[in-house]
Every structure is written in structure tokens, then in C-alpha cells.
Structure 1
Amino acid sequence: MTTNSTSTADPAVSVENVSVSYRTTFEKVPTFRSAVRRLGRGQRVVHLVEALREVSFEVNHGTSIGIIGANGAGKSTLMRAIAGILPPSEGRIEVHGRVSTLLALGVGFNRKLSGRENVVLGGLAAGMTREELNERYEEIADFAELGEFIDMPMQTYSSGMSARLAFSVAVHLNPDILLIDEALSTGDAKFKQKAARKMREVAENAGTMFLVSHAMRSVKRLCNEALWLHKGQLMMQGDPTEVIAAYTKFLEVGEDAFSLEDM
């Protein structure tokens, strides 16, 4: 369950014993003998995926927190749960403030509509009034650097153009909490630098920012706290330099040889 209010006395985000699990099916490749018996058909196997396992932490208002971990660690699942997109199987999440999400570049856009129309739809969906949209539209469009493409269907956009528009909409909604999943992975070097400056500006304006990234330099530069996930479990939360050092050592020595007590 996720609740939304704006009391600064409460943490921006509180995650209590949250687990997320789901079942998926896949076709098991048959052996030659069983394939003959089953006329070549594979066997459908149900697999339980535990994406998050009893994760608990709090993030205070004004914190910029980097979420790190290997592929499959549960980072994106955690972000979607905080955003209210994916309900926890167990546990509770409380979110205090207006959330703006950039969890997958271009998700939520109608690619048959123009960039301009998608800016309007995205702003209205986030709770902005038409007056607020009129005030901020030019700023959003200028930041995205799309030029005349802003009035063309988004299905004509490159991935980089879609990424710039998605990022621009997300950061210009004046969110209390900004959730970004690998937002800087697409785009040229110039735009990445501009995006990083904008993210710092959001954080400095007492906003709370979650940044999922494999780029440790970005986490160190943009975040004042870090959280490390591994196979759905919270391994460590704290100063980015310390958390990244522990994560790096873990990658070097392997899971069996690693102990947080050695750090």
C-alpha cells in the first residue's frame, strides 16, 4: 500500500519489509527422447521469481540516493514499487510528496501523437493544470532541444530524441520526489552534462531523487546517499563512497568470499 501526503516531518519514502514476487512460465527444452514422445512439444514450467525480499529502508526529504547492483538485483522493481506501478506482494511503502517518474525512456508516450501533445498529456497526468503547462511548456521544449520535431509524431523520433523529451518532462514537473532509472544512458555527451546539472538543481531545491545507475561516477557525483541491492535483498545503505567500495569489492572477490564485516 502506498500513501501520499506532504508532511516534511515524515521521511519522503518509507519501505517496510517489502517483498515482490511473481510467477512466470517458460518452455523447457525437451530431450530428443521426450520430444519424440511429446511430438516435439516442450514442457511448460512455472518459475517463482522473488524480485525483492523483505527490503526495509527510509529516505529523508532532500536526499539524492543512488540505487546500485548487478542486473537482476531488483533495482527497477523497487523503483516501480515506490512509483505505485507495481504493488508489493508483502510489506508497505509510504510516499510523502508528488512523484515524477522516468523509469523507462518514452514509456507512457503515445507515439502516434506529436511531442507537443505528449508534453501536455504527461503534464496533465502528473496533476499539472493547463495554466501551469502553459507557463512551463517552452522551458520543457527548449530543454529537450527537438526544434521543429516537437510538432512531429513521436514515432519519427530516434531513441535519443525520445529520451530527451521524456527527461525534460520529468524534471520540469517540480516534483517532490524524482525517480530516474538509467536516464542518462541515452543521449550525446552534451545533453548528459545538461541533464546532470538539472538533476543536481532538482536535488538542491530540497527535492528527493532516486537514481538507478550502473555508472558509479554518476552516483558519486549526483548522490549524497547510496543503496545496494543484490538478488532482491538490501545489502547496504549509506555514504556513496563507502557503499560503492563495498559493492566493488564484492564484484572482485565474488559472493562466497565476501563479508560486509570485512569492510
Structure 2
Amino acid sequence: MENPIVEVNNVSMMFRLYRENVDSLKEFLIKKVKRQITYEEFWALSDISFQVNKGESVALIGRNGCGKSTLLKTIAGVLKPTKGSVHINGTVAPMIELGAGFDMDLTARENVFLNGAILGYPKEMLEENMPAIEEFSELHQFMDVPIKNFSSGMLARLGFAVATIYTPDILIVDEILSVGDYRFQEKCHARIHEMLEQGTTLLFVSHSIDQVKKVCNRAILLNQGHMLFDGGVKEAWNRYDSL
């Protein structure tokens, strides 16, 4: 039997919410040494466990603040869980935050190489695929413009084009398809379907039932850091609506 491509085992994530307002790192360190810093523990995730097999397309759904993005970041390796473990058996292309992996002072072309390097793509491969990236993103005349001048939709186009120019084992998409025009969103959905047909595994966050239905065959419902349901998209969304 094939091993799961993603294994999330009893994952919990705790953040410290500090009560004091400090104006500098020096002040924070002094207060910490004097034990004048107090905080509350906030558990963003509590004992989450599930497995994803190769080729599955899984949506993470739930209200804002339920832990979806935190869970994706632990799977992508951006965050280390406080408890539990995550095992990944393959390459990951994460699209978790708009503009993540970009330098706003660099041009779009320069950011293709920067973001591509972060994703582990060789420079030669990026150079070879630059025309395809320009074509998919539809940013031909803006490739040598600093991206600090880009709209959120243009950033999404560039990030998606770079992340999907190569077919990763696991594609992680967090709400990035909610920006930009409808036609480009449909273009992204078509690219995702192509990747799924080639065996890519998808972890997808969206507040749109239409988007989830288009690309996912399974959904995991989170609420206040707890996993409430793992199964069919329709039933998961019905439970989501009843929260």
C-alpha cells in the first residue's frame, strides 16, 4: 500500500499573546529578565490528525480564525508545531500569503528568480520558462516594473505562475484565488485541474463553496482549532453553514 503524501499526527500549535506594550527589543529583553512580561496561551490548533494520499484534492474550510492558515503553514514547514508532527513525502509549492517570497523593491522578472529559488527551482529552468510565466500571468509589459507598484491581483498572477510552472508533488493554495478577475480565476482553476491530472496533491483554502466544489473531492472542517469533520465536500459545507 502506498504511503500517504501528507501525514499530520496530533498537531497542536500554541502562540503566546503578550499583554505588555513594549517599544523596543531592548525594553522587551529587560522586562523578560525581570520577569515583568506576562502572556496568555492561545492554542490555534488542538490535536489535529489526518492523512492525504497522492493525487487527492482536499479543502480546509471554517470560519476566520479557525486555524486553516496555521495548519497550512505547519504542513509547508513555515511553522513548527508545538506538539505532534507533520511528515511530507514529496516537493511542496506553497502559496500561503500574497507576496510571500517576493521582494517589493525588485521587478517582477527579478522576483521570478527570487521566488523560484525559494521554491527550489533551478535558475536555468526559470530562464527557460520565463516566456511561459509571462504568458500565463499576462504581465508582459510589467515584468521590469518593481512589484511594489502591483495590485493584489497582479501579485497573485505572478505568484501563481511561478509556483505552477513546474508540477510539484503538493500544491498548497490559501485564498490566493480570491483576488483578481473572474477570468483569471478560471484560468487558475484550469491549471490546477491539469496538475491534478498529472498526480499533484492539492491542499486548498477558500471561503467560496463554488471554488471548493470545482477543485476538491474532500473537505476538512475546522472550528476554533479543532477538526470537526473530514469527508465529502457537500456534507462538510453543510456542517460549516450550521456553525
TM-score (norm 2): 0.90
Q: Which position in structure 2 is the counterpart of 1:176? A: 169
The letter of the residue matching 2:141 is E
CA contact (8 A) 2:101 2:114 kept: no
Q: Which position in structure 1 is the counterpart of 2:51? A: 58
The letter of the residue matching 1:94 is H
Q: Structure 1 segments of 4 or more deviating over 6 A?
A: none
Please state how far the C-alpha of 1:202 moved relative to its aligned partner: 1.4
Unaligned runs of 5+ in 2: 22-35
**Alpha-carbon distance in structure 1 between the residues aligned to 2:123 and 2:96:** 24
* Deviation per residue, 1:38-97 (Å, 9 max, x gap): xxxxx9862211000000000000000011000111000000000000000000100011
Please state how far the C-alpha of 1:26 moved relative to its aligned partner: 3.5
Q: 2:185 aligns with which of 181, 189, 192?
A: 192
CA contact (8 A) 2:119 2:163 kept: no
The letter of the residue matching 2:113 is V
CA contact (8 A) 1:76 1:181 kept: yes
Greater C-alpha Rg? 1
Unaligned runs of 5+ in 1: 1-7, 29-42, 252-263
**Alpha-carbon distance in structure 1 between the residues aligned to 2:59 and 2:183:** 22
CA contact (8 A) 2:101 2:118 kept: no
* Deviation per residue, 1:131-186 (Å, 9 max, x gap): 22122221111111112111111111112111110111112232110000001111
CA contact (8 A) 1:100 1:173 kept: no
Q: 1:13 aligns with which of 6, 11, 19?
A: 6
After superposition, the CA RMSD in angstroms is 1.7
CA contact (8 A) 1:123 1:173 kept: no
CA contact (8 A) 1:98 1:175 kept: yes
Residue 120 (str. 1) matches residue 116 (str. 2): no
Q: 1:203 aligns with which of 188, 192, 196?
A: 196
Q: 1:75 aligns with which of 65, 68, 83?
A: 68
The count of aligned residue pairs is 229
Q: Which position in structure 1 is the counterpart of 2:226? A: 233
**Alpha-carbon distance in structure 2 between the residues aligned to 1:83 and 1:94:** 10
SS in 1 for 2:60: strand
CA contact (8 A) 1:51 1:232 kept: yes
The letter of the residue matching 2:92 is V
TM-score (norm 1): 0.83
**Alpha-carbon distance in structure 1 between the residues aligned to 2:118 and 2:100:** 13
